C-alpha cells in the first residue's frame, strides 16, 4: 500500500493542486498567527475547494478556543482537525463532540518517556502525529524542520496509528521509512524554498524519494 503523505502549511492554490497531483493524501492548513504558514480561514477554504475530495483537508490548530475553531471549521470544512498544542484528552473529547470530525493529536518527541503521553489519548485521538520537540527559543510548536530519533518509535504497540513528522525532506525520508513502520508521513519546511514558501520542485523530489523508498520496502497493514 502507498504511504500516505501530508503536505502541510499550504498557502497557494498552485501548491495545493501540485501536491495533490503528485499524490498527497492529505493537505494541511496552519492556523497559528506566529507561523510563516499562517493562513486566514476564508483563504484556506477557497484553496481547499480546488482540491476537495482528492485529498483529506487538515486544519492545524494550536490550543484554539471554541470561537477560533468555529470560524475555521465553518470556512474550511476540514476532514480532520490536527491539534498541535497542549490540548488534553478532555479537550479532544469536547472538540470531537462539537464537530464530529476525526482528531489527530500532535505530540512532540525527544526521548522515550515522551511517547508515554499517548496513553491519555488512546481511544480518543483518531490518530497521532509525532513531531520533534521545538528547538529552544522557537515560537512554533511545529514546522521547525527538526527531526527526532525515529528509533524511539520501536517501543510503540503496532496498533498505534500515527503520522511521522518533523524535519523530513527528500534526503532523509528513505532512512525514516526504513527505520520506522510509519504508514503516513507529514512534511512542511522540507519542501520550502523560504519559510512559508512551498517549492514545487522540492515537493516533486520528496514524492520521488518516497516512491523510491516504497519500491524497496514491502508494506502492509491497515490505516485510518
Ligand X SMILES: O=C(O)c1ccccc1N[C@@H]1O[C@H](COP(=O)(O)O)[C@@H](O)[C@H]1O
Q: What are the catalytic residues?
A: 8, 131
Minimal distance in Å, beta carbon 111 to ligand X? 18
Q: Should residue 60 be labelled a site residue for ligand X when binding is judged by CB under 6 A?
A: yes
175, three cell numbers = 532512512
Alpha carbon 81 to chain centroid distance? 10
Minimal distance in Å, beta carbon 220 to ligand X? 25
Report the DSSP beta bridge partners of residue 78: none
Q: Should residue 30 be labelled a site residue for ligand X when binding is judged by CB under 6 A?
A: yes
Q: Is 17 left (phi over 0), alpha (psi -120 to 50) or beta?
A: alpha
Where does this chain touch ligand X (CB under 6 A) — which range of 15-23, 92-100, 188-196, 211-219?
188-196
Question: Does residue 128 contact residue 120 with C-beta atoms inside 8 Å?
Answer: no
Question: Which of residues 60 and 125 has its CB atom nearest to ligand X in the complex?
Answer: 60
Question: Does residue 141 contact residue 164 with C-beta atoms inside 8 Å?
Answer: no
Q: Which of 25, 131, 170, 213 binds ligand X (CB under 6 A)?
A: 131
SS3 category, 190: helix
Give me the residues that bind ligand X (CB under 6 A), please.
8-9, 28, 30, 32, 35, 37, 60, 62, 84, 131, 140-145, 165-168, 186-190
Amino acid at each position: 500500500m502507498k504511504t500516505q503523505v501530508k503536505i502541510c502549511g499550504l498557502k497557494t492554490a498552485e501548491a495545493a493542486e501540485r501536491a495533490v497531483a503528485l499524490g498527497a493524501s492529505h493537505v494541511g492548513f496552519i492556523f497559528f498567527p506566529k507561523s510563516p504558514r499562517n493562513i486566514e480561514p476564508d483563504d484556506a477554504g477557497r484553496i481547499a475547494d480546488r482540491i476537495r475530495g482528492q485529498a483529506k483537508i487538515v486544519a492545524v490548530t494550536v490550543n484554539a478556543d471554541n470561537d477560533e475553531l468555529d470560524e475555521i471549521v465553518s470556512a474550511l470544512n476540514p476532514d480532520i482537525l490536527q491539534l498541535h498544542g497542549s490540548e488534553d484528552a478532555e479537550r479532544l473529547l469536547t472538540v470531537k463532540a462539537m464537530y464530529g470530525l476525526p482528531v489527530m493529536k500532535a505530540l512532540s518527541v525527544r526521548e522515550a518517556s515522551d511517547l508515554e503521553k499517548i496513553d491519555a489519548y488512546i481511544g480518543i485521538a483518531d490518530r497521532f502525529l509525532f513531531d520533534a520537540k521545538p528547538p529552544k527559543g522557537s515560537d512554533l510548536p511545529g514546522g521547525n524542520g527538526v527531526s527526532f530519533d525515529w528509533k524511539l518509535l520501536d517501543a510503540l504497540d503496532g496498533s498505534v496509528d500515527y503520522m511521522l513528522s518533523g524535519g523530513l525532506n527528500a534526503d532523509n525520508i528513505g532512512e525514516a521509512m526504513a527505520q520506522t513502520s510509519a504508514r503516513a508521513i507529514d512534511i512542511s519546511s522540507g519542501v520550502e524554498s523560504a519559510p512559508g514558501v512551498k517549492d514545487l520542485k522540492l515537493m516533486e523530489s520528496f514524492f520521488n524519494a518516497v516512491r523510491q523508498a516504497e519500491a524497496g520496502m514491502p508494506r502492509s497493514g491497515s490505516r485510518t
